[in-house]
Chain A
Amino acid sequence: MVDDHNSPVADDELHVYVDGELPADRLAAVESWLSSHPEDAALVAAWRAQAEAIRARYGSVANEPVPNRLALKKIMRSNRSWGAVAAAAAVLAFVIGGAAGWLARGASAAAPSEVSMFTAEALGAHRLYIGEVRHPIEVKAEENHLLPWLSRRVGTTLRAPDLGGFGLKLLGGRLLPGIRGPAALFMYEGGSGERFTIYCSRLDETRTSFRYDANSNFGAVHWIEGGYGWVVSGPQDKARLKSIAGVAYDQIENRPPAPTRSSVDQLISRRGS
Chain B
Amino acid sequence: MSTFHQDIEAVIPALRRYARALTRDAETADDLVQDTLVRALRSEHLFHGGDVRSWLYTILTNLNRNRLRSLARRPTLMPIEDNDAPDAAGPEAGGRDIERALALLVDEQRTALLLVVLEGLTYREVAEVQGVPIGTVMSRLARARVQIKTYLDGERPALRRVK
Contacts and interface: CB of A to CB of B under 8 A. Distances in A.
Interface of A: 11-12, 15-16, 19, 21, 43, 46-47, 50-51, 53-59, 61-64, 66-67, 69-70, 72-73, 75-76, 79, 130-134, 192-195, 216-218, 235-237
Interface of B: 1, 5, 8-9, 12-14, 16-17, 20-21, 30-31, 33-35, 37-39, 41-42, 63, 66-67, 69-73, 81, 88, 92, 94-95, 97-99, 101-102, 113-114, 116-118, 122-123, 138, 141-142, 145, 148-149, 152
Given A15-B145, A51-B117, A70-B16, A235 B35 contact: no
Interface SS of A by simple majority? helix
A19 B138 CA distance: 11
A120 to B, nearest CB: 17
Contacts of B149: 43, 46-47, 50
A66 B73 CA distance: 32
A73 B1 CA distance: 8
Nearest to A72: B9
B41 A58 contact: no
A54 B67 contact: no
B21 to A, nearest CB: 4
Contact of B148 (A43, A50, A63, A131): A50
A51 B98 CA distance: 9
B38 to A, nearest CB: 6
17 contacts: A15-B138, A19-B116, A19-B123, A46-B145, A50-B145, A53-B95, A57-B94, A57-B98, A61-B13, A61-B20, A61-B21, A62-B13, A66-B13, A70-B37, A72-B5, A75-B38, A236-B73
